[in-house]
Chains A and B, each alone.
Chain A
Amino acid sequence: MKTHNSFDEQYQFTGKVKTWSLIAIVIGVVTIVAGFLTHHEQRTFSNLLLMGYYFTCVCAAGVMFCGIQYAAQAGWSASILRVPQAFGKVLPIAALILVVIIIAGLKMTHTVNVDGKNHIEPYLYARWATPDLRIKDSGIYDSVIAGKAGYLNVPYFLFRIIGMLAVYSFFGWLFAKYSRDEDELGGMKYYNKSIVISAIFLVLFGFTVPVFAFDTIMSLEARWFSTMFGWYNLAGLWVSGLAAMTLIIIYLRKQGQLSWVTENHLHNMGLFMFAFSVFWTYLWFAQFLLTYYANIPEESAYFFRRWEPDFKVWFWLNIVINFGAPLLVLMQRDSKRYVGTLQVMAVVIILGHWLDYFQMIAPNTIAPHEHWYWGVISWVEPGVFIGFAGLFTFLALSALSKFKSLIPKNHPFLDESLHHHI
């Protein structure tokens, strides 16, 4: 560890990582274009929604991290707060991309033939956004969906999603702004303001994030409902956001930045990842057990589809990666303190939660139309994933390089964070 930390050094976003993230974005764009040109529109839309949602969730987790640290008046995290603040700054872009994907998915349609009759279906949310579902003699009339039309209709749906994302983005921007003002002007004023907005944000976020998950993901399977789904998604959002933060912190440390971050800070990030992987499993299992035990057909439809041979392997792998791996590896003190192990586990958790989202989305968007066995994951999935991973890296690191310094130097608990020791 260096004996002297420079708090006025601005981070320069250059070098290999910039090249590679741009290459990744190109790979993503090429994959999306190729997906549309080779008539894999359904699959491409499914993946766009998956990654758009994942990207938004990881950025929102950054805002949530800031909120929790300020509301808890935590000291240890003061010196790494720039990383979640950068996530918050990227959130508006992520939200915009997600909204564009959703609108495109609702507006672009294709014709599906059911029992000799043609129906116009959108590529996304076909289970409720298909107009014929609500027309009495269309042949596919669904009284349940028609009854839900007061909530699940396109204008109100878009209003909710855009409204929630706008609120989250606003708070993400506010956290970064207050912290920047604190750097320049000092004093306790901005810290106290941050505590107040944290409290407001956490209440808003906590109550609306389940609705966000219901709308964006659960409504793909419009007849099914689960009140656990929102918390289950919140757990996924949080743990994948923590893993992304850990990766960026480790990367910056390897670049010689964040010289004040020691293995004690990484230990805390590891603790978080371990604890919330177990929390994720708890919610996953709570949802599964209730469905399994009650065995009511309209509830078990969700798991029934994931129990089909084409998804069963991934269904089990999801648990192994997201529960088994963190439990067995991250439980040990040493594995939270060795950068190498922590880095591998962060990557495993990020890939694991991709699989988790894939489990939620793909069976409702692509499965009923095509049938595969092992080919459920094709070339589109890795391509789109790489594209969004590159985009996220590029935007997050650019946002970091815009801060005057990688440390909030007038944060009142900075000294505690610099001497953090566990």
Chain B
Amino acid sequence: MSSTKFILGLFDDPDVLLHGIDELKKNSVPIYDVYTPMPIHGIEDKLGVKPSRLGYAAFMFGILGGTTIFSIVYYTLVHDWPMNIGGKPAFAVPDFIPATFEWTVLFTAFGMTITFFFATHLFPGRAPRVMDLRATDDRFVIAIDAKGNVPHEDITNILREAGAVEIKHNDRKYVSYE
């Protein structure tokens, strides 16, 4: 039994990479993930990646921000210390809307940044997890979980025939732990 954990096919062209994905699918080889230095249009559909739920997260952060500031303004200006500003009633809703809007945007922006860090395991001071360093530069990488996917030679041949410029048999999942 070999100690290979992951087989990586490195491509130097996104179109060749898409062809490689098709070839692997034709041969019923499950793909673990694909790493590219830039977004490739339509790759999610090809890989069957589920639609992102990021929108729901953004919506919830927005609701949270809006509710927070509205409660604060309501507590301070209506409940705790009502003031006469320009003869308006204390609960002057139109005046509250700009602040509510701004906090909705603020919470959504910060919330999405935090969600992004959380989802990608990126935190300040932590080395990112990368399967192949050149996937951040000029290589398009298909990763195949080697466990159960035997024989490895066949996978290597499929990748090579599809146009991979380099094929790696890695013993560890990530090349860069912290």
Which residues does A use to contact B, with CB under 8 Å?
285, 288-289, 292-293, 295, 333, 421
Task: Write 12 A-B pairs (CB below 8 A) sorted by A numbering.
Answer: A285-B94, A285-B97, A288-B94, A289-B94, A289-B98, A292-B94, A292-B95, A293-B86, A293-B94, A293-B95, A333-B51, A421-B41
A289 to chain B: which residues have CB within 8 Å? Answer: 94-95, 97-98
Does B48 sit within 8 A of A, measured CB to CB? Answer: no
Let me know if B86 and A295 touch, CB within 8 A. yes
List the interface of chain B (C-beta within 8 A of A). 41-42, 51, 55, 86-88, 94-95, 97-98
Query: Hey, which chain B residues are within 8 Å of A333, CB to CB?
Result: 51, 55
Chain B residues near A288 (CB-CB < 8 A): 94
Query: In the complex, what residue of chain B is closest to A291 when comparing beta carbons?
Result: B94
Q: How far is the CA of A143 from the CA of B97 in the complex (A)?
A: 38
Shortest distance between the CB of B74 and any CB in chain A (Å): 18
Which residue of chain A has the shortest Cβ distance to B42 in the bound complex?
A421
What are the residues of chain B within 8 A of A285 when measuring CB–CB? Answer: 94, 97
Q: How far is the CB of B30 from chain A (nearest CB, A)?
A: 25
Question: Chain A interface secondary structure, helix, strand, loop or mixed?
Answer: helix
Q: How far in angstroms is the closest Cβ of chain B from A330?
A: 13
Please give the distance in Å from B86's CB to the nearest CB on chain A. 6
**Would you give the shortest CB distance from A352 to chain B, in whole angstroms?**
20
- Chain A residues positioned under 8 Å from B51 (CB to CB): 333
User: Please, how many angstroms separate the alpha-carbon atoms of A285 and B100 in the complex?
Assistant: 14
Question: What is the minimal beta-carbon distance from B55 to any residue of chain A, in angstroms?
Answer: 8
Distance to closest chain A CB from B45 (angstroms): 9
Instruction: Tell me the complex Cα distance, A283–B144, Å.
Output: 53
- Which 3 residue pairs of A and B lie closest in terms of their CB atoms, listed nearest first? A289-B94, A292-B94, A295-B86
Residue pair B94, A295 in contact (C-beta under 8 Å)? no
Chain B: minimal CB distance from A307 (Å): 13
Shortest Cβ distance from B149 into chain A, in angstroms?
Answer: 31
Q: Which residues of A contact B42 (CB under 8 A)?
A: 421
Chain B residues near A292 (CB, 8 Å)? 94-95
Q: Within the assembled complex, what's the spacing in Å between the Cα atoms of A421 and B97?
A: 36
Complex Cα distance, B94 from A421, in Å, reads 40
Supplied contacts A289-B95, A421-B41, 5 more A-B pairs, CB within 8 Å: A289-B97, A292-B95, A295-B86, A295-B87, A295-B88
CB closest chain-A residue, reference B95: A293
Residues on B with C-beta less than 8 A from A421 are 41-42
> What separation, in Å, do the CA atoms of A296 and B25 have in the docked complex?
70
Q: CB-CB < 8 A to B55: which residues of A? A: 333
Q: Which residue of B lies closest to A288 (CB)?
A: B94
A288 to B93, CA, bound (A): 12
* Distance (whole angstroms) from the CB of A302 to the closest CB of chain B: 15
A289 to B100, CA, bound (A): 14
A369 to B129, alpha carbons, bound, how many Å?
A: 75
Residues from chain A with a CB closer than 8 A to the CB of B94 are: 285, 288-289, 292-293
B53 smallest CB distance to A (angstroms): 12
CB distance from A200 to the nearest CB of B (A): 33
Which residues of the partner chain A approach B95 to less than 8 Å between Cβ atoms?
289, 292-293
Closest to A290 in B: B94
Closest approach, in angstroms, between the C-beta of A160 and any C-beta of chain B?
Answer: 34
Q: How far is the CA of A333 from the CA of B86 in the complex (A)?
A: 43
Q: Which residues of A contact B97 (CB under 8 A)?
A: 285, 289
> Shortest beta-carbon distance, B39 to chain A, in Å?
12
Q: Which single residue of chain A is at the shortest CB-CB distance from B55?
A: A333
Return A341 CB to nearest CB of chain B, in Å. 17
Q: In the bound complex, what is the Cα–Cα distance between A285 and B101 (angstroms)?
A: 12
A329–chain B nearest beta-carbon distance, Å = 15
Q: Closest approach, in angstroms, between the C-beta of A294 and any C-beta of chain B?
A: 8
**When chains A and B are docked, how far (Å) is the Cα of A143 from the Cα of B51?**
64
Among A288, A293, A295, A333, chain B packs the most CB atoms within 10 A around the CB of A293
Find the A residue at minimum CB distance from B51.
A333
Instruction: Tell me the bound Cα distance from A295 to B89 in angstroms.
Output: 13
Complex alpha-carbon distance, A333 and B42, angstroms: 17
Distance, CA A184 to CA B177, complexed state (A): 61
